[in-house]
Amino acid sequence: MKTTSSVLLLCLCLVGLIGCYTADSGNYATNQIHCEFSVDVSDTVATATASFWTPGAQPANPTYLVLTANDTITVNGVAMQRKRGPLFDIYTATLQPAEAYVFTFTRSDDESYDSTVPTIPALTITNPEAETWVSRDEDLDIRWSNPIEDGNVTVFMPASQYLNGLLEAVQDVGEYTIAAGTLTLDEMSPETDVRSQISVSRRHQGVMAEGLNGNIIARTGDTVEFISTQ
């Protein structure tokens, strides 16, 4: 699984002393603009997101861009709307699932750039079921729908104050077992039962338009909450 540069930059912005700045896209040539396009796919809806940035004076200090001077972004012909964020603005659109998603970035000179990513099969975790009690002394069998031959998924369990976490890239065969004893509870925990969650996700890259910098991905996933017990 590849981590997109937008995620890296977001983490860097959160470090504290590092700030993120916003400028107008109309002030930058196309080759100075980096585009981050993504679409989150489910069985019933697709949510597309776009953001734009240009390198700052320091590599870890990017300048995020707001589309101005008649620059526009659409996905499958649907205009994406600006959404203000705490660190930088993004552009979003909600649409019906499709076989592919085409992000069209149009500049003020009417030059347009089509970046395309094929859809990705949505997945649903079928085991464990939500709110299941799972013993740490037993294997935890995770199963999900629509496996992809020769593909990979990420299995993620966030760490909590007392329970360790897990992050594994595994083959997308529809099942994965977390061995008994992998999940351990800190001896300082006041309770033996701890609420946690399991996520399974998959993603793949699309093709950026020629002459356009950036990344384009389609992704899908599911999360269930469960109770980790003795």
- The per-residue pLDDT for 139 is 97
Q: Cβ distance 144 to 200 under 8 Å?
A: yes
Q: What are phi and psi of 191, to 5 degrees?
A: -130, 150
Kind and range of the H or E run holding 11: helix 5-13
Q: Where are the beta strands (DSSP E) in 108-212?
A: 112-118, 125-127, 133-135, 140-144, 152-157, 166-171, 175-178, 194-205
CA geometry: angle at 225 spanning 222 and 230, to 5°? 135
Closest CA to 31 of 218, 217, 209, 216: 209
Integer Cα distance of 121 and 148 in angstroms? 8
Of the candidates 74, 92, 76, 228, which has an alpha carbon nearest to the alpha carbon of residue 166?
228
Q: What is the pLDDT of residue 2?
A: 36
> Which pLDDT score, from 0 to 100, does residue 121 have?
96
In this prediction, residue 124 carries a pLDDT of 96
Q: How far apart are CA 121 and CA 99, in angstroms?
A: 10
Task: For residues 39-52, give the mean pLDDT.
Answer: 97
Task: Give me the pLDDT at residue 88, please.
Answer: 84
Say which range, 53-57, 78-82, 124-128, 173-177, has the weakest mean pLDDT: 53-57
Q: How distant is the alpha carbon of residue 140 from its chain centre?
A: 25
pLDDT digits (tens, 9 = 90+) for 9-24: 444 344 333 445 689 9
CA proximity to 225, closest of 195, 193, 197: 197
